[in-house]
Amino acid sequence: MERRADLRPRRVCAEENVEVPWAEVVKGYEYEKGQFVVMTEADFEAADVEATQTIDIRDFVVAAEIPPVYFEQPYYLEPQKTGAKAYALLREALRHSGRVGVATVVLRQREHLAAVQATGDAMTLTTMRFAHEIAAPAGLDLPADAGLDRREIDLALQLVGTLEGPWQPEKYRDRYRDALQATIERKLEGRAAEPAERGRRAPTKVVDLMSALEASLKAQPKRDGTRAAGRREVAAARKTPRRRAS
């Protein structure tokens, strides 16, 4: 194996192209391009929240009411020995009510919004984004119903029914991570890395979505009980008027 050394980053002034010592480095907030408000340690200490070891639940809300874009990093919660009964009681209350506890918690000197949920025999705490951190899609050119007819919707529902199945997270692999891990193992064993064969991606073309859906349906193998479920979904969809989100 080859012996290498780590690289050390240098702090260089963008205007004068000279290295800046740590003693002259400050923190700041860029309120306009190239314009900063300098922030001192006292400023951060004044804004800091009190670090606690507790999770403060503020509200209980229906889990389905929280859009997925709010969720960030999940953690498992483990009770202290004296809190096992209270832990189990809250877990079962969340499970039976279908509610999520919306809480605040201090992690790494910063207060986070979080969701407390029942997950099997455990409870999880998932950090969340605050409302001001969520960008609205107002500037996006999004279609409404785009003139969809019943046949197109039925065909799309049929494809969903054909591919329907239980959630099995282990079947989905991080191929990039697997390939890197295999390369690392080969190099540790002194073997040359095997380049992955990949075809050149064809240029993107505008396709007829209906034709693509029909071709996809024909290519899907039949699954026991799945296609019938898809048909039932289509039949139910015909009886139920479409609803638009307000």
Q: What would the pLDDT profile of 65-93 be if each residue is shown by its tens digit?
A: 999 999 999 999 999 989 999 999 999 99
Least confident of 13-17, 47-51, 182-186: 47-51
Q: pLDDT band at residue 222, thresholds of 50, 70 and 90?
A: low
Buried b (16+ CB within 10 A) or exposed e, 22-40: eeeeeeeeeeeeeeeeeee
**110: containing domain:** 56-132
pLDDT at 208: 64
Q: Which residues contact 188 (CB under 8 A, 6 or more apart)?
A: 1
Has residue 221 got a pLDDT over 80?
no
Torsion of CA 98, 101, 107, 113, to 10 degrees: 100
Say if CB 114 and CB 105 are below 8 A apart: yes
pLDDT at 194: 66
Q: Is 113 inside a domain boundary?
A: yes
Q: Is 91 inside a domain boundary?
A: yes
Q: Is 207 inside a domain boundary?
A: no
- Check: pTM over 0.85? Answer yes or no: no
Number of independent structural domains in the chain: 1
Q: Is 104 inside a domain boundary?
A: yes
Q: Quick one: average pLDDT of 84-105?
A: 96
**CATH number reported for the structural domain that contains residue 86 in this entry:** 2.40.290.10
Q: Is 188 inside a domain boundary?
A: no
Average pLDDT of the residues of the chain: 81
Tell me which residue has tokens 């877990």. 91
Of 105 and 52, which is predicted with more confidence? 105
Tell me which residue has tokens 């209906």. 210
Q: Quick one: average pLDDT of 204-216?
A: 64
Q: Is 66 inside a domain boundary?
A: yes
Closest CA to 223 of 169, 168, 172, 159: 159
The CA distance from 27 to 47, in Å, is 15
